[in-house]
Amino acid sequence: MINEIPPAFIYIIGALAIPFLKGALKKAWLVAIPIVAFINLLYIKKGVDIDTTVVKFTATFLDQQLIFGRIDKLSVGFAFIFILASLISIIYALHIKDDAHHISAYLYVGGALGVVFAGDFLTLFLFWELMAVGSAFLVWFRRNKMAIEAGFRYILIHTLGGLILLAGIMLLYNETGSMAFNAIDPDSKAFYLIIIGLMINAAVPPLHAWLPDAYPQATVPGAIFMSAFTTKTAVYVLVRGFAGTEFLVWLGTIMMIYGLVYAVLENDIRRLLSYHIISQVGYMVAAIGIGTDLGLNGAVAHAFTNILYKALLFMAAGAILHMTAKSKLTELGGLYRTMPITMILYMIGGLSISGFPLFAGFVSKAMIVSAAGVDHRSIIMLVLLFGSAGTFLSVGLKLPFFAFFGKDSGLRPKEPPKNMLVAMAITAFCCIAIGVYPAVLYDILPFDVPYHPYTYEHIVWTMQILLFTGVTFFYMLKTAAPKGYLSLDTDWFYRKGIKIFLWFAFKPVRKTNDFIDDADVNVIEKQTMNVATKAKWFDIAVVDGIVNGVAWANRLIAWLSHQIDIYIVDGLINSAATLVNINSGFWRKLQTGSVQSYALIMLAGVILILGGLIIFI
């Protein structure tokens, strides 16, 4: 049954089939995937009461329940816009022949939908990392040095964010024993780790620099996908888990101002639009911090409209880059002559993001400003209201004037391919339709809060601010002209940090290592050979000499012993035996038994003794 398919899996499985298809069939398949996903979502919505939370598509892994389908108004609302954005983006990218690009894009979309429907943190984390990998390839597939370097910085930052998020999830599990994805207790030790991991993906300053670094280096269609999903999934998770967090109000407001300032200074059109993603997400983060039903509805509505008009702006900027191979305002100008359709479609996006009445941005941004006012946050309300001025200045005036009008650059590009124009036209229609009939948007918001954007006060305030901004721009046209320099941002620190690290690794450390290696070969090895040679000489001359000497000495001693035994010991023994034998014969003769004989012998002995004494005396 179609209503039994987790929405993320439609994209993931569909992406795996792309390499096996060719030509028109492949293009039809690419467009069919989001259409099937949309029909699937309608079945899911029809089959459950989304005013409550319904859990579907569960599995068990490592004794943990994985929830691939938490169905409620919040998840379904984000899913609608994600699927619509994927359809528009893939139509824009149909001219791309690289299968790997399409696979990465749909894995990226699948990851975003997986996060939206995740009912537990383990499932959320798995899809979160799938998003990071898929989107990184959309940068690398541009296949130039700057894109490859930016892609590596992008994946390193998001890997860091993922590790921080995972650490928070593990700490939360240790505290609660549950992986359930619900509102996080602010007193939990995991609260700040998880929110920091989310803030990296939401591009909250000073954790934002990856966005204007990577998005301008992505492929032309890749930037369209990236503008829609990474920051908006972070907004979704913040709405789900961190609504009413006070410091988000101020972080979001600072974020909005920060993005505006850098956008006004920027020269590169896609980098300028990247800073406006930061600025517009700042509205959403502030609304989440306000935390009221109206504020959260405003955050979701603004995420919805922002995906549309930001995609339209990036598509028009991508069309310029695709047709001219240039993206700097100082190199553009006069394009209205040959790209009038692109210019008109761009202006619809520019008026939408600026919050002009009858365009999408007006009906969503108004909710956030009103939520700040109702919550008695006058300063926040005024800052957010006047934020439209900076947006209109940079996106609605500066970029289109110096790209399409201004000084003629001499460029005469044609309109982009038809698929790109069709995608832009669909998106422009949506921006106008929502602006004219906001109920189509308000009906899918998570909270039932009546709101009417077209009040007299709001229209007058908005038009006054925007008209004043327009007059100021043309009055200070020379000052507002783009400059050919690069504005330094916080990425300067980790860029320089990486360069210093690499210098340290390849210079002092490597040279020290090479020195040691050379010393090993030229000194240590030589000394070892000298020691070995001397040891060999010592073995032959001394050790072997002593051993041989001892052996010869043993032989000599054995020979002498043998000679002494034969000639001395044996001679003495034989002589003694002979003497004994002679003496025994003599005494035998003396033993006659006659006393007279014995007397004569004794007398003879006395005479001999006396004779001897006389001689010696």
Domain segments of the chain as ranges: 1-230, 243-480, 495-603
Provide the pLDDT for residue 346.
97
- Cα distances from 182 to residues 118, 248, 311, 319, in angstroms, run 10, 18, 30, 41
Provide the pLDDT for residue 608.
61
Segment holding 537, helix H or strand E: helix 525-538
8 A C-beta contact, residue 179 and residue 120: yes
Tell me: the pLDDT tens digits for 523-567? 656 666 676 676 666 666 665 667 566 566 666 766 666 666 666
Rounded-to-integer distance, Cα 221 and Cα 230, Å: 15
Average the pLDDT over 17-44 and give the result: 95
Whether pLDDT at 488 is above 90: no
Provide the pLDDT for residue 47.
64
- Cα distances from 88 to residues 6, 38, 327, 435, 497, in angstroms, run 21, 13, 22, 19, 39
Tell me: the pLDDT tens digits for 552-562? 666 676 666 66
What angle do helix axes 73-92 and 293-324 make, rounded to 10 degrees?
Answer: 10
Whether pLDDT at 232 is above 90: yes
The mean predicted confidence, pLDDT, of the chain is: 87
Rounded-to-integer distance, Cα 234 and Cα 249, Å: 16
- pTM given for the model: 0.81
Please indicate whether residue 4 or residue 188 has the higher confidence score (pLDDT). 188
Q: Phi and psi of 346, rounded to 5°? A: -60, -45
With cut-offs at 50, 70 and 90, classify the pLDDT of residue 482. Answer: confident
Whether pLDDT at 587 is above 60: no
Least confident stretch, 87-91, 285-289, 345-349, 504-508: 504-508
Provide the pLDDT for residue 249.
97
Percentage of residues of the chain with pLDDT beyond 90: 69
Provide the pLDDT for residue 342.
97
Provide the pLDDT for residue 254.
96
Provide the pLDDT for residue 2.
47
Least confident stretch, 33-47, 268-282, 592-606: 592-606
Average the pLDDT over 224-247 and give the result: 96
Name the β-bridge partners of 58: 67
Whether pLDDT at 486 is above 80: no
Provide the pLDDT for residue 601.
57
With cut-offs at 50, 70 and 90, classify the pLDDT of residue 509. Answer: confident
Whether pLDDT at 160 is above 60: yes
Q: Quick one: tokens of 97?
A: 């022949």
Average the pLDDT over 142-165 and give the result: 94
With cut-offs at 50, 70 and 90, classify the pLDDT of residue 396. Answer: very high
